[in-house]
Amino acid sequence: MNNKIIYMDYGATTPVDKDVFKEMEPYFCSFYGNPSSVSAFSLEPKMAIDKARSRVAKAINCKREEIFFTSGGTESDNWAIKGTAFAKRKSGNHIITSEIEHPAVLNTCRYLETQGFDVTYVPVKKNGMVDLDYLEKSINSKTILISIMLANNEVGTLEPIEEIGKICTEKNIAFHTDAVQAIGHINVDVQKLKVDMLSMSAHKFYGPKGIGVLYIKKGMKVDNYFHGGEQERARRAGTENTPAIVGLGKAIEKSNSSISTETVRLKSLRDKFLKEVLEIHGTSINGDLVNRIPGNSNICFHGIEAETLLMALDLRGICASVGSACSAGSLEPSHVLIAMGLSEENSRSSMRFSFGSSTSEQEVENTVKALKEIIRNIQNV
């Protein structure tokens, strides 16, 4: 990586880990056989996919046959939500989600509203935690699906998935969680959380882009989303992306093996960063301080346009983000921060700094120094 760049945007995407890349490489030019062919040449790619499936199943504590490879978090969210909605249409048309979901969930639900479904968007409290009382009261006899994210991508909050899982089990409602920001960063056990479906995406945990997983608990009624060949036990058509699947398998195993050490390291870097940034006059933290993924910080610089700050940091080779990558540039204030009760102005003054594998103490210090200088310059004009 370019030495001059200070990358503080791991929440948007991560670099591919070198060991991950090494495991993927042979599947481009050497073992390129179609895993669905019958010839002996397809055996190696087929076995590699099996191995990746086992690694994922082990990582989230489920059966291998409950793992389906997709093209990423967006497809997994679309499949889980539309697939469940259409499969259960006869028993009800009500879906519950939250106001702070990723666009892959929110816009899928908005689409379903045009197809005769009713959607409740549960509000969150000031700290970014889903209002459980509101959620429970929203459930009616037509409710077929609840989709609530495990970790929020903008403020990093860890939502009360285990509690919602219990409610869904009692009321026999399908439960999906978008765990894209959580997998590889905190321990996730689908049995403990009682989720029926879970989305993940490799590029958020040091794997390649364009590959993800949808976990579907055995027995769940979910319509197929892609129609075509018989791949993935006739559940997800399309020739398997062998190198990417291999990469996802290695990435989840490697990330999971270092969760405990990385959590300690990243938390200490983040706390150091927060402590020093909060010394700047007119700053505050967005989102719950405890229930939060270790590498995330989201700060409001009151009275300063975050876009201006972002560009000034960019000129100094420091890469952070405003809102989420998906809404950045759209000039709309972050829907997540608005849902948390921030004013439009404060929402436009907020930035995310997310830390990861190669973040160092020196980088944190340099970023704080740059922030202080930039803010001083802005306030002096």
Ligand X SMILES: *Cc1c(COP(=O)(O)O)cnc(C)c1O
Residue positions annotated with a catalytic role = 326
Choice from 52, 96, 104, 374 touching ligand X (CB under 6 A):
104
d(CA 208, CA 72): 10
d(CA 105, CA 335): 13
Q: Which DSSP letter does residue 102 get?
A: -
Q: How many residues bind ligand X (CB under 6 A)?
A: 15
Q: Which residues pair with 186 in a beta bridge?
A: 183
Q: By beta-carbon distance, which residue lies closest to ligand X? A: 73
- Contact window for ligand X (CB under 6 A) among 28-36, 73-81, 113-121, 279-287: 73-81
Choice from 147, 157, 177, 181 touching ligand X (CB under 6 A):
181
Strands of the sheet with 296-301, listed across from one edge: 283-285, 296-301, 350-354
What is the CB-side half-sphere exposure of residue 95 using CA atoms within 13 A?
29
**Three state DSSP letters for 237-256:** CCCCCHHHHHHHHHHHHHHH
Q: Which is nearer to ligand X, 53 or 204 (CB)?
A: 204
Q: What is the CA radius of gyration of the chain?
A: 21
Q: Which is nearer to ligand X, 46 or 176 (CB)?
A: 176
262 binds ligand X (CB under 6 A): no
- Contact window for ligand X (CB under 6 A) among 174-182, 276-284, 353-361, 364-372: 174-182
Q: Tokens at residue 141, please? A: 């006899």
212 binds ligand X (CB under 6 A): yes
The H-or-E segment that residue 94 falls in is: strand 94-98
Whats the size of the chain, residue-wise?
381
Distance of closest approach, residue 190 Cβ to ligand X, in angstroms: 17
Contact (CB, 8 A) for 216 and 222: yes
- Contact window for ligand X (CB under 6 A) among 140-148, 200-208, 242-250, 307-315: 200-208
- Contact window for ligand X (CB under 6 A) among 66-74, 166-174, 298-306, 356-364: 66-74
74 binds ligand X (CB under 6 A): yes
Distance of closest approach, residue 209 Cβ to ligand X, in angstroms: 7
Distance of closest approach, residue 89 Cβ to ligand X, in angstroms: 25
Q: Which residues contact 330 (CB under 8 A, 6 or more apart)?
A: none
Q: Which DSSP letter does residue 210 get?
A: S
Please, which of residues 122-161 interact with ligand X by CB under 6 A? 149, 153
Where does this chain bind ligand X (CB under 6 A)?
Answer: 72-74, 77, 102, 104, 149, 153, 178, 180-181, 201, 203-204, 212
